[in-house]
Amino acid sequence: MTTDMTNSAESDGMQTATHLLRTVWGYDAFRPLQADAVASVIAGRDSLIVLPTGGGKSLCYQIPAMVRDGLAIVVSPLISLMKDQVDALLANGVAAALINSTQSDEEKRVVADSIRAGKLDLLYMSPEGLLVPRTLAFLQQARVSFFAIDEAHCVSNWGHDFRPEYRELSVLKDRFPDASIHAFTATASARVRRDIAQQLELEDPLVLVGDFDRPNLTYRMPAADRKLDQIRAVIRRHPGSSGIVYCISRREVEQTAAALQASGISAEAYHAGLDDATRTAQQDAFIKEQIDVIVATVAFGMGIDKSNVRYVVHAGMPKSIEHYQQESGRAGRDGLASECVLLHSGGDVMTWKRIFELGDTANLDASMRSINAMAELCRGVRCRHAALVEYFGQEYDSENCNACDVCLNEIDIIDDAVTVAQKILSCVVRLKERFGAGYTVKVLTGSRDARILELGHDHLSTYGLLQTEGASATRMWIDQLVSQGFLNRVGDYQTLQLSDSGRKLMRREASVTLSRPAKRPTTSDRDGTSDDWSGVDRGLFEQLRALRRQLAADRDVPAYVIFGDAVLRDLARVQPSNMNAMRQIKGVGEKKLESFGPIFLSSIQEHASR
Ligand code: ADP
């Protein structure tokens, strides 16, 4: 009997949840794992949900917060992230607020009053803010229905972003025995998942692990070769759209941003060395779409929820595959086709090694394993979607993803790689392993450089062996041999030396894969999925985008808080002529229809009558 009653209460809860999904968010249905995650929060069963970026984790707790009585507390690591989420909720008419250390006493009092009055559904806080004893005591008096712990991998020191203050969240079970706890993250291995459940003292949690694949992302991992031109080419494939360019060092960030600006691209730099005001201004300009491109170190992004980042370029290798998944994952959160380009060279591994050596050397071996796995993935010639998903322990069941440089045939694997490798390795040996890559390339391609003539290296048997291939291909192959471990770069001068496996390769006792960029041009839309744009009036889309930018600036909120790209494309495709027709568009809820419907409809009408 009790069970039946519970079941029926839960199914009522799910009905309410689905109703809210339609009316408040304007979406038709929950995604498969989302429905289970929502049901567990409504039922008050602890849970641990691993869904990739863009998988829709926020709704898993935002909707139950409205369904359940009492206050839901969302623990989130970054103030900017909280602010954006709260802005987005308020735009949808949801009773949400945040408390953080930058607020005035008066602002805090207003929030506290609405908590006392039972008027709030959702409260966003940082872990350290929540754990202040006075705050905890105050919240114990409120009716807290559940805690949602966002970025829950920060709880575990096995994860890639451990934060000690997250550990302290273990007190929650004790202090709030009636509240359920729900942990959410985009990346957590089985070990990290166990650790999260243990640290947060979850009771019989429902554990759901989503599919790690991001089918809307097209991955390209070409060797770096005239990097700036490559970066500019990606940006030109997405005119007027938002993109992120990641660089390893601050200096490279500054140089790249300046070079892009000089080519007329609207780009700004972002790194931890800039003062707070400048950083906030650059980030703000990016999310309000006043600039197109942000060039940044990995310091940028943790707090960014921007759903319509159309491309992410890495100007060098990220330090691990986990980091790559997270950083590239910032593209296409709205599910629309987006591009991720990783430019890499053998030198990146050395750069990271130097950075690791300056930091916590206790983890040096583990860090080197991570960067080597990343390097292997870059130089591999296996479907990128498959390689990434398999790294995270899942199977990829499609033969051809049609969304990576390998499957799109953009990589040209050279036929007789061993012979080419032998030519390079024997040149290194003939140069007595005393020269760097630049000089070796010159010898192999038959340069008449004065130093070569002076040292008599034009008489070596390997002089000019790769003349017909050219310097840039030769350089790329040397990088590939370095990243595959056949060559090492040694000492301050980065001189090339053969490794044991390099010597084996010289004797043809090992195999090697070398590639060059294919002649096939990179297209702006990958094959098969360009229908994201089919039927969209591009002129109208741009007009609506400008309107969105204006509305966002007036309200001081991120542009996507007004409407996401998918909604704008649908509006520019369907061109609704009245409120009812506009209500049918996915992602348009009642509150937004009321706030923005008339102004978008009149913009559409104006376009039609031109
Ligand atoms: P995550 O936090 O997992 O990275 P978000 O919660 O930001 O993902 O959701 C990503 C995007 O997907 C958002 O634009 C969101 O509004 C949209 N979304 C979430 N759930 C659904 C759904 N059931 N149907 C359609 N769109 C959805």
At 96-137, the pLDDT tens digits run: 999 988 889 999 999 999 999 999 999 999 999 999 999 999
What is the predicted pLDDT for the residue at 237?
A: 94
With the most atoms of ligand 1 within 8 angstroms of its CB, the residue from 58, 561, 565, 585 to mutate is: 58
CA distance 477 to 516: 8
Confidence of residue 379 (pLDDT cuts 50, 70, 90): confident
Strands (E), 458-514: 487-490, 495-498
217 beta partners = 338
In three-state secondary structure terms, 489 is strand
Instruction: Give the residue-averaged pLDDT of 524-553.
Output: 79
246 beta partners = 296, 314
Give the Å distances, CA to CA, from 459 to 96, 439, 452, 456, 529: 76, 15, 9, 6, 54
Give the Å distances, CA to CA, from 123 to 73, 199, 258, 503, 577: 5, 22, 41, 62, 38
Residue ID of nearest Cα to ligand 1 atom 26? 27
Which region holds residue 46: left if phi is over 0, alpha if psi is between -120 and 50, else beta?
A: beta
How far does the centroid of ligand 1 lie from the alpha carbon of residue 387, in Å? Answer: 25
Which phi and psi (to 5°) does residue 268 adopt?
A: -135, 160
CA distance 219 to 522: 12
Instruction: Find out whether 196 and 155 touch, Cβ atoms under 8 Å.
Output: yes
How far does the centroid of ligand 1 lie from the alpha carbon of residue 565, in Å? Answer: 13
pLDDT above 50: residue 3? no
| Ligand 1 atom with minimal separation from the 186 CA | 3
Instruction: Find out whether 405 and 411 touch, Cβ atoms under 8 Å.
Output: yes
- Rounded to a whole number of angstroms, the CA Rg of the chain reads 27
Asked if residue 446 has its Cβ within 6 Å of ligand 1, the reply is no
The residue among 229, 330, 336 whose CA lies nearest residue 286 is: 330
Highest average pLDDT, of 362-371, 433-442, 512-521, comes from 433-442
Q: How far is CA 491 from the centre of its chain?
A: 34
How far does the centroid of ligand 1 lie from the alpha carbon of residue 122, in Å? Answer: 18
pLDDT above 50: residue 1? no
Which region holds residue 409: left if phi is over 0, alpha if psi is between -120 and 50, else beta?
A: left
340 beta partners = 219, 312
Q: How far is CA 239 from the centre of its chain?
A: 20
Instruction: Give the residue-averaged pLDDT of 42-67.
Output: 94
- Exposed e or buried b per residue across 1-34, where buried means at least 16 C-beta atoms within 10 angstroms of its C-beta: eeeeeeeeeeeebbebbbebbeebbbbeebeebb
Residue ID of nearest Cα to ligand 1 atom 24? 27
CA distance 527 to 566: 19
CA distance 584 to 8: 30
Residue ID of nearest Cα to ligand 1 atom 10? 54
pLDDT above 50: residue 433? yes
Give the Å distances, CA to CA, from 540 to 286, 307, 574: 22, 20, 11
Residue ID of nearest Cα to ligand 1 atom 17? 56
How far does the centroid of ligand 1 lie from the alpha carbon of residue 316, in Å? Answer: 29
pLDDT above 50: residue 383? yes
Instruction: Find out whether 370 and 319 touch, Cβ atoms under 8 Å.
Output: yes
What is the predicted pLDDT for the residue at 160?
A: 65
CA distance 578 to 167: 52
pLDDT above 60: residue 495? yes
Residue ID of nearest Cα to ligand 1 atom 27? 56
Residue ID of nearest Cα to ligand 1 atom 16? 56
pLDDT above 50: residue 4? no
Residue ID of nearest Cα to ligand 1 atom 9? 56
How far does the centroid of ligand 1 lie from the alpha carbon of residue 595, in Å? Answer: 21
E strand or H helix at 297: none
CA distance 449 to 434: 17
| Ligand 1 atom with minimal separation from the 21 CA | 23
The residue among 568, 481, 576, 559 whose CA lies nearest residue 533 is: 568
How far does the centroid of ligand 1 lie from the alpha carbon of residue 150, in Å? Answer: 14
Q: Which residues contact 556 (CB under 8 A, 6 or more apart)?
A: none
How far does the centroid of ligand 1 lie from the alpha carbon of residue 335, in Å? Answer: 8
Instruction: Give the residue-averaged pLDDT of 407-424.
Output: 91
Q: Regarding predicted confidence, which is higher, 244 or 347?
A: 244
Instruction: Give the residue-averaged pLDDT of 162-188.
Output: 92
Instruction: Find out whether 160 and 323 touch, Cβ atoms under 8 Å.
Output: yes
